[in-house]
C-alpha cells in the first residue's frame, strides 16, 4: 500500500500543473502578460504540496492517495478565482493556505492515534459549545452581515464555529460508539413512535439542542443546518434506524417553519429564492447576477479574466461557484462538482473500511460535513435551495474555513492510514 504515495505524488503534480496553467491564463487574460509571476507561483505551490506529501509519506504512509490531491486541486482553483475577483485578497488567501497546510501537517504528526479522543467526548462537546459562544462575548465578537459568528483577535477575524463543527463531530462519534447499541433498542412508545431510553438519548439531544440554539441566536442558520445534518447522518450510521431519519425530517420541517415565522431575514431569503426577479436591483440582485453569470459561461466559459463576475456581491465567498461557472463554463463547474463527488466517495470509503466504530462514525460525520456544505452552497447558487451563506469547502475565501477543512482532511487521512495498518497487523 505504500506504493499509493507514488499515485498521490503524481496526482499532486497534475493538480499543480492545472492550477499554475489556470493562474497563467488569468494573468494573460487580465494583464496580457504571463511574466515571472507564474513561475514564482508554481515554485511556491510545488514546494507547499511537496512538503505536505513528505509529511504524509512518513506520518500516514497507508492513507488514501486521492484525498490530498483533490483538496489541493479545489484549493488551487479557488485561489485562482479569488485572485481574479479580488487581487487584494489573494495574498491573504495564500497565507491562509500555508497555515491550513501547516495545520494539516501538525495534525497528522501530533495525532498518531485517534483512539483516545473518544474518551473525552463530553469535554469535546463542552469545548464546542464554548467555541460557539465566544462571539457573543461583548468586545470580542463582531457582527458581520447580520450574523454574530466572528471573533476579533487583533487585525484578524476568526469564525470559531468552523472548529466547533469538528469538535461536535468527535463528540457525536464518541457518544454513539459507546451508546449506539442502546439507542437502537426502543423500550418506550409515544403514540405510534418507538423511542429509546431517555437516559441514553437525553445527553445527546441536550448537547445538540444547546448548540443549535446558540447558532440560531447568532443567526447562523447555515451552520445550524450543517450541525443538524451531521447529527442525523451519524445517528443513522450508528443505529441503522430509518425511524430516526424520519423523525429528524419532521423536526427539520417544523423548525424551518418556526424559523421562517420568527426571523425576517429568513423570510426574505425564502422570498428571494422563490422569485429573485421580483426585486432584481436590490434584494434579488445577488441571485440574479449569479444566474446571468452562469448563463454567460455556457459550455466552455468566457475565459479566465474575460468575464464580469465582479458584478456579483460576495463573489469570493458566497458566490464563487457562479464566478467559476461564468469564466470556466459548464465544463469547469462540472469538474468542481466531480472533485467534490470523488472526495466524498473517498471519505465514505475510509469510513466503510475501518473496523473501529468510533473512527467509522467520525469519518462518516466529517465527510458528511464537507459534502453537505458543498451541496447547500452550490444548491443556493443554482437556486435549488435558499442561499445560506456558508463557504464552499477549500474553494471560497476564508481563513477559518480553510484551516478547519485541512484539519478534517488530516483526520480522514489518519483514519484511513490506521484502518490499513490494522488489516496488515
Q: Which residue has the higher pLDDT, 55 or 35?
A: 55
Distance CA 48, CA 192 (A): 57
For residue 144, list its beta bridge partners: 147
Q: For residues 380 and 387, is the Cβ–Cβ distance under 8 A?
A: yes
Domain count, the chain: 1
Please measure the distance between the N-terminal and C-terminal CA atoms of the chain and give it in whole angstroms: 13
Helix (H) or strand (E) run with residue 318 in it: none
Q: For residues 81 and 30, is the Cβ–Cβ distance under 8 A?
A: no
Q: What is the mean pLDDT of residues 37-58?
A: 87
167: pLDDT confidence band, cut at 50, 70 and 90?
very high
Q: What is the mean pLDDT of residues 38-54?
A: 87
Nearest to 218 by CA among 154, 150, 130, 167: 150
Q: For residues 280 and 289, is the Cβ–Cβ distance under 8 A?
A: no
Q: For the chain, what is the mean pLDDT?
A: 85
Beta strands in 56-179 (DSSP E): 141-144, 147-153, 156-158
pLDDT at 27: 79
Nearby residues of 178 by Cβ (< 8 Å), 6 or more positions away: 118, 121
346: pLDDT confidence band, cut at 50, 70 and 90?
very high
pLDDT at 125: 87
Residue 149 grid cell: 459568528
147: pLDDT confidence band, cut at 50, 70 and 90?
low
pLDDT at 10: 94
Q: Percent of the chain scored above 70 by pLDDT?
A: 87
Distance CA 279, CA 85 (A): 25
Nearest to 361 by CA among 247, 239, 249, 252: 239
pLDDT at 90: 87
4: pLDDT confidence band, cut at 50, 70 and 90?
confident
Q: What is the mean pLDDT of residues 168-190?
A: 77
108: pLDDT confidence band, cut at 50, 70 and 90?
very high
Nearest to 411 by CA among 119, 110, 180: 110
188: pLDDT confidence band, cut at 50, 70 and 90?
low
Q: Which domain holds residue 149?
A: 4-424
Residue 374 grid cell: 458543498
Least confident of 15-29, 75-89, 192-206, 325-339: 192-206
74: pLDDT confidence band, cut at 50, 70 and 90?
very high
pLDDT at 117: 87
Nearest to 150 by CA among 166, 167, 169, 137: 137
pLDDT at 42: 82
pLDDT at 29: 67
pLDDT at 333 > cutoff 90: yes
pLDDT at 251 > cutoff 70: yes
Amino acid at each position: 500500500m505504500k506504493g499509493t504515495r507514488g499515485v498521490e505524488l503524481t496526482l499532486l503534480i497534475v493538480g499543480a500543473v492545472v492550477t499554475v496553467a489556470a493562474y497563467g491564463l488569468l494573468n494573460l487574460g487580465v494583464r496580457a502578460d504571463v511574466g515571472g509571476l507564474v513561475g514564482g507561483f508554481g515554485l511556491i505551490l510545488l514546494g507547499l504540496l511537496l512538503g505536505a506529501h513528505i509529511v504524509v509519506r512518513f506520518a500516514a504512509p497507508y492513507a488514501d492517495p486521492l484525498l490530498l490531491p483533490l483538496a489541493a486541486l479545489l484549493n488551487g482553483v479557488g485561489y485562482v478565482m479569488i485572485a481574479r475577483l479580488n487581487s487584494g485578497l489573494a495574498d491573504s488567501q495564500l497565507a491562509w493556505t500555508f497555515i491550513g497546510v501547516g495545520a494539516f501537517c501538525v495534525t497528522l504528526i501530533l495525532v498518531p492515534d485517534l483512539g483516545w479522543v473518544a474518551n473525552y467526548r463530553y469535554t469535546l462537546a463542552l469545548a464546542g459549545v464554548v467555541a460557539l459562544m465566544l462571539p457573543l462575548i461583548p468586545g470580542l465578537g463582531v457582527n458581520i452581515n447580520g450574523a454574530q459568528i466572528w471573533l476579533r483577535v487583533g487585525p484578524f477575524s476568526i469564525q470559531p464555529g468552523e472548529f466547533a463543527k469538528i469538535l461536535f463531530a468527535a463528540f457525536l462519534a464518541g457518544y454513539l460508539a459507546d451508546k449506539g447499541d442502546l439507542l437502537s433498542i426502543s423500550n418506550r412508545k409515544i403514540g405510534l413512535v418507538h423511542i429509546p431510553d431517555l437516559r441514553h438519548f437525553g445527553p445527546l439531544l441536550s448537547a445538540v439542542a444547546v448548540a443549535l440554539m446558540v447558532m440560531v441566536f447568532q443567526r447562523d442558520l447555515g451552520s445550524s443546518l450543517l450541525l443538524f445534518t451531521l447529527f442525523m447522518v451519524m445517528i443513522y450510521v450508528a443505529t441503522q434506524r430509518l425511524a430516526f431519519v424520519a423523525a429528524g425530517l419532521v423536526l427539520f420541517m417544523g423548525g424551518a417553519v418556526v424559523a421562517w415565522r420568527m426571523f425576517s431575514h429568513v423570510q426574505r431569503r425564502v422570498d428571494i429564492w422563490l422569485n429573485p426577479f421580483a426585486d432584481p436591483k436590490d434584494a434579488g440582485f445577488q441571485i440574479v447576477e449569479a444566474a446571468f453569470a452562469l448563463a454567460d459561461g455556457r459550455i466552455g466559459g468566457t475565459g479566465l479574466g474575460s468575464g464580469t463576475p465582479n458584478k456579483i456581491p460576495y463573489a469570493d465567498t458566497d458566490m464563487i461557484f457562479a464566478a467559476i461557472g461564468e469564466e470556466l463554463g459548464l465544463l469547469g463547474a462540472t469538474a468542481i462538482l466531480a472533485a467534490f463527488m470523488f472526495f466524498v466517495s473517498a471519505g465514505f470509503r475510509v469510513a466503510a473500511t475501518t473496523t473501529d466504530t468510533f473512527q467509522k462514525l467520525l469519518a462518516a460525520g466529517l465527510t458528511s460535513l464537507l459534502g453537505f456544505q458543498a451541496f447547500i452552497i452550490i444548491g443556493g447558487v443554482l437556486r435549488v435551495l435558499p442561499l445560506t451563506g456558508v463557504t464552499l469547502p477549500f474553494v471560497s475565501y476564508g481563513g477559518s474555513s480553510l484551516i478547519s477543512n485541512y484539519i478534517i482532511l488530516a483526520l480522514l487521512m489518519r483514519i484511513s492510514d490506521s484502518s490499513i495498518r490494522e488489516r496488515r497487523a
